[in-house]
Structures are given as structure tokens and as C-alpha cells.
Amino acid sequence: MVSGAEAGGKNLADVQSPIGLDYAPVRCAGDNPYWLRRDAVAICNPQLGTPQRQCNGSTSNCPGLCAKCYGEDLAFIRHQLKVNTITIYQPSYYILKEAQRLGMKVVVGLLNDSVIGLASPARRKDCTYGAAPLHLCGSDYAAALIDGACIDHAGGDPYKLCTSHCAARSNPARDCVHGDCSCQSDSDCRGDSNRCLGGAYLAPMNNPAAGEFLRDGTVIAIQLGNEFFQACEPLVVPGIHQPCCSRDPKTGRCTAWTVTRRVISAAARTLRAALNARGLDRVKITVNLVQEQGRKFCRHGKPPPGVDYVATHSYCDFVAQMPPQWLTHSGAQCWERARREFAIDQKACGASTTYIGETGFNSGCPTAPNARALLDAERDFVDAMVGAQPACNSRPNPAAPFPNFLYEFEDVGPATGCLAGCGDRRRCSYNCCCKHVCSANQRCEPDCPRCVGNGYFGLYHAPGYGTDGFPPVPKFAPMPSLLCPASQQ
């Protein structure tokens, strides 16, 4: 992938793509590499102190293998594609460690329940991380994200294994059956109210022994959730009014509440206070928006208090819905439509604080009859997007240091995922197979594809469309370049 600029004698080390890449979280998931099971794929994120003898040669469980998998991907992105900035969708110590080694920059997305945890009062002890119990909320939750955490306490030795332990353990001889207060059940914890706590483990993002990714500039921003603004969420934040968005059909009781700008602002301000207290004020806080939400989220041309940047997810037509729909098979036209959608949010939230966090073209099922035409359209989309970047047109980037991001590096899903619309629409209805709303005309036969994956936006796919494996397989011949066209240099 050598551009005319490189052929003209420019040093390869000086050439850099004007865009960033979104990097999907299921890469390097070795527990279910070919989507054979119907349960969710767990990303590779083993505890830092996991002994080699306990990891059974699994990418998902072995720190060394996990780091190797991510390291191969990131080195490919950095050296072959010349991309220096990526967005990830949940914190990963191993991605950050490899990015640090390669001198790359990372926008770290938080899980959606982390937004609720940050916005909640610190006095609460019932928050979650990836649906696992984390008995820390508010400012304590922020400390857990930054310093690492084990179940109910933040900080500590990052290489000490996190195991279930007794809730009360200030006096191990009195409170615990075992000297280290580890437990497998409540019977291992002494005292009527004492119980065995299990829950979430978080590797630190900033620790002198393990890596100061926030302090050394590897992490340039933390992103609050993924498309979480105005989501309907079953957890409510105490003290913040949130409209009810779902009620029990029998009792009428509210069962879910809308995530408002006040919720996100509260989460952002909590995280900002924790970052600033540690001298990490250079790390920015971003929020991603969809479908022109900028006019509702921002006011007077600015994001709400605590939020530094807005990352729009700008797509044309319905290429990002499940299953996707295309009103145009022209990649260039699709980019122009996405660009116009971005301009609406840019105007609402400010040009200097708004960038494209996601955009791309879904090439659809690899087995579809029109697969070739959609692949051509995706390549044209990438060419149009790259050529339109400010750096390729001798203009400054108003939202620097954040580039616009292309979604994504690799396809995420099997070659025939039902979420992406593969399979016969009557025999393998998305509504029936994935939402379990079936009828005589919407069925789900036993041989239908699984409800996994998120479309086919990638530049590559893993060997065999698995969740790991290297090197990546190009989808295009020839591949689109991510460098500015030679004519625009």
C-alpha cells in the first residue's frame, strides 16, 4: 500500500494516514474463535498476574498470547496502514500496552454501565462493570477505572490476582475462615452480615508498575459508553430526573429510564475530577452520538459541562442497522451523505470539539449475490473519505488532535451472520431469529445463521472469519490506500 507520495522519495517513517481506525473489541477472543457457540464472545483480557501454567494455552486466558495477538494487529495497523490513532470500545490493558510500545494514540471507550457507575453517588455500592458487580460508584468508580480495581476496592498491586473475598475482612482471624479472606461461599466468611463477594476485575490504565498510559500520552481520550445518549436503560441514577421509557405491561411500573445529557454530564464531571486530581488533565473526555443527536445533546455550540469532544457516528442510508439496507450502491455518494450528517452535529456542537468517531460502508454478507458490487462501493467510500480529509487538502484539522475514524479494521462476525441479514429473509427472519418475534411469515429454521456480528465494515477479515488469527485477509483487490492521494500531496 504505497502511495505516490512515498514513491516520490518521502521517508516511509514520515508518512501517516490522515484518518484513525476503529478497532473492534472481539479481536483476539480465543474462547469461541469460529462463533460455534451461541453465547457472546469474550474478549481477550486476562488478569495481569495470571500464571502461565493456569492459562491452558488460550488467547483469552494467557497474558502473553493476548499481548501477542493485539501486538500483531497494532503493528500491522501502524506500519502497513500508516494509521497512528485507534478507538477501542472497552478498556484493554493489553491493547494499551502494545499501543504504548508502538507509539500509537488511543481513544478508550467505556462500557455503557460505566456511565451509570460514574454518574451515581459514591455512597452507593451497587454499580456494575460489564454487568459484573463492582461495589464502587461515583468517585470510587472513577478511581477503579484509572487505578484498577478488584470487586470492592480500587488500586493496589496490579499483578495480584483478584479473587472472591469476604466483604468484612479488617480482622482476618475474626472475619474469615481462610487467612487471606478468600472465599467460595458465604460459609467462608464469619459474622451474621458477612458474605462472600465476587465481581469485576479492572486492570489499571495508569499505574507506575504496569504502565502509565494516561500520563504518557498513549490514551488521548476516554469515551463515555457507546451510543448511550438517549438509550433506554434499566438502571436509574439517584438524584437525576430521567424520563421513564419502558413500563411493565401488567403493573405499569417503570422498568427503564432514558439516559439524558444530565446523566452523561454528571459522569463526565466525576471522571474529570478524578483525572485532574491525578494531574491527568490532558486526557480528554468524549461522547459519541448517532443520527444527528448533536442538536439535543449540545447547547450554544458546545457539549455539556465535563464533556470535551463529541464523536459522531455518521453513516449514510441504513447501512449500520440490522439487517442493513442500501439506498445507494455508490460509495462516493454514501460518503457525501455521511459527511452532511456530520456537518449537522458539527454545527450544533462546535467545529473545534466535534469529529467523526465512526463512519463506513457495510459491504454486506460475503455470500450475497451482489457482494462484488458492495465491495466496490465500500472501497470507493474509503477513497472518498480519505481524499476529503483536511490534511489531504492543505487545511488544518479543526478538532485536532482527533482525526476522523473509519469503522473498521476487520469484519466482526462469521461469514453468514444473521444480524447482518444473511440467510433467506423468510426462512431466517431477523425479527424471529434475533428478536424472537415470529409469525407465519417470519420464521427461524434450525439451519439459519447465528445472531452474531455487526456487519461487514472492515478493510480485512480474520482467517476463516474467526475472532483471531494473523495475518488479516484483504477484502479488496486492490486494497484502498489510507494515505492522501498523490495528487493532493
Distance CA 429, CA 436 (A): 9
Q: What is the mean pLDDT of residues 238-259?
A: 96
pLDDT of residue 2: 33
User: Per the domain annotation, does 5 fall within a domain?
Assistant: no
User: Per the domain annotation, does 198 fall within a domain?
Assistant: no
Q: What is the mean pLDDT of residues 401-427?
A: 81
In this structure, the answer to whether residues 371 and 428 fall within a common structural domain is: no
User: Per the domain annotation, does 106 fall within a domain?
Assistant: yes
In this structure, the answer to whether residues 428 and 367 fall within a common structural domain is: no
The residues, any chain, with a CB within 8 Å of residue 100's CB and separated by 6 or more, are: 211, 213, 216, 218
* Chain position carrying cell 413500563: 247
User: Per the domain annotation, does 328 fall within a domain?
Assistant: yes
- The region of weakest confidence among 212-221, 326-335, 390-399, 473-482 is 326-335
User: Per the domain annotation, does 112 fall within a domain?
Assistant: yes
In this structure, the answer to whether residues 392 and 432 fall within a common structural domain is: no
The answer on pLDDT for 9 being more than 50 is no
Q: What is the mean pLDDT of the chain?
A: 90
Question: Tell me, what amino acid is at 198?
Answer: G
In this structure, the answer to whether residues 46 and 25 fall within a common structural domain is: yes
Q: What is the mean pLDDT of residues 164-171?
A: 97
In this structure, the answer to whether residues 331 and 211 fall within a common structural domain is: yes
CA angle 306, 307, 308 (to 5 degrees): 115
The answer on pLDDT for 33 being more than 50 is yes
Q: What is the mean pLDDT of residues 192-211?
A: 97
Give a three-class secondary structure readout of the chain.
CCCHHHHCCCCHHHCCCCCEEECCCCCCCCCCCCCCCCCCCCCCCCCCCCCHHHCCCCCCCCHHHHHHHHHHHHHHHHHCCCCCEEEECCCCHHHHHHHHHHCCEEEEECCHHHHHHHHCCCCCCCEEECCEEECCCCHHHHHHHHHCEECCEECCCCCCCCCCEECCCCCHHHHECCCCCECCCHHHECCCCCCEECCCEECCCEECCCEECCCCCCEEEEECCCCCCCCEECCCCCCCCCCEEEECCCCCCEEEEECCHHHHHHHHHHHHHHHHHCCCCCCEEEEEEECCCHHHHCECCECCCCCCEEEEECCCCECCCCCCECCCCCHHHHHHHHHHHHHHHHHHHCHHHEEEEECCCCCCCCCCCCHHHHHHHHHHHHHHHHHCCHHHHCCCCCCCCCCCEECCCECCCCCCCHHHCCCCCCCECHHHHCCCCCCCCCCECCCCCCCCCCCCCCCEECHHHCCCCCCCEECCCCCCCCCCCHHHC
| pLDDT band of 368, cuts 50, 70, 90 | confident
Instruction: Give how many domains the chain has, as a whole number.
Output: 2
Domain containing residue 437 = 424-451
The answer on pLDDT for 12 being more than 80 is no
C-alpha neighbours within 13 Å on the C-beta side of residue 255: 7
User: Per the domain annotation, does 167 fall within a domain?
Assistant: no
- Nearest Cα residue to 243 out of 259, 225, 263, 267: 259
pLDDT of residue 304: 98
In this structure, the answer to whether residues 475 and 442 fall within a common structural domain is: no
The residues, any chain, with a CB within 8 Å of residue 118's CB and separated by 6 or more, are: 138, 141, 142, 145, 224, 266, 267, 268, 270, 271
Q: What is the mean pLDDT of residues 273-298?
A: 97
Cell reading at 172? 482476618
| pLDDT band of 10, cuts 50, 70, 90 | very low
244 bridge partner residues: 257
Backbone angles phi, psi at 82, to 5 degrees: 65, 30
User: Per the domain annotation, does 77 fall within a domain?
Assistant: yes
In this structure, the answer to whether residues 74 and 87 fall within a common structural domain is: yes
Contact 142, 118 (CB under 8 A): yes
Give me the percent of the chain exceeding a pLDDT of 90.
73
pLDDT of residue 146: 98
CATH, residue 337: 3.20.20
Q: What is the mean pLDDT of residues 218-230?
A: 97
In this structure, the answer to whether residues 262 and 321 fall within a common structural domain is: yes
In this structure, the answer to whether residues 277 and 418 fall within a common structural domain is: yes
Contact 93, 214 (CB under 8 A): no
Q: What is the mean pLDDT of residues 451-471?
A: 85
Distance CA 147, CA 225 (A): 19
User: Per the domain annotation, does 148 fall within a domain?
Assistant: no
Q: What is the mean pLDDT of residues 140-147?
A: 98
pLDDT of residue 60: 82
Distance CA 242, CA 174 (A): 44
Q: How many CB atoms lie within 10 A of CB 317?
A: 18
Pairing of strands 405-406, 20-22: parallel
The answer on pLDDT for 258 being more than 90 is yes
The answer on pLDDT for 90 being more than 90 is yes
Backbone angles phi, psi at 149, to 5 degrees: -160, 155
Question: Tell me, what amino acid is at 481?
Answer: S
pLDDT of residue 58: 80
In this structure, the answer to whether residues 217 and 355 fall within a common structural domain is: yes
**What's the Cα-to-Cα distance from 119 to each of 44, 134, 148, 241, rounded to whole Å?**
28, 14, 18, 12
Q: How many CB atoms lie within 10 A of CB 98?
A: 24
Q: What is the mean pLDDT of residues 30-41?
A: 62
The answer on pLDDT for 328 being more than 90 is no
Q: What is the mean pLDDT of residues 6-14?
A: 46
The residue that leads in pLDDT, 232 or 414, is 232
**What's the Cα-to-Cα distance from 223 to each of 97, 188, 240, rounded to whole Å?**
18, 39, 21
Backbone angles phi, psi at 134, to 5 degrees: -135, 110
In this structure, the answer to whether residues 53 and 29 fall within a common structural domain is: yes
pLDDT of residue 38: 53
In this structure, the answer to whether residues 447 and 465 fall within a common structural domain is: no
pLDDT of residue 488: 59
- The region of weakest confidence among 34-43, 236-245, 315-324, 406-415 is 34-43
pLDDT of residue 32: 65
Q: What is the mean pLDDT of residues 453-458?
A: 82
Distance CA 271, CA 273 (A): 5
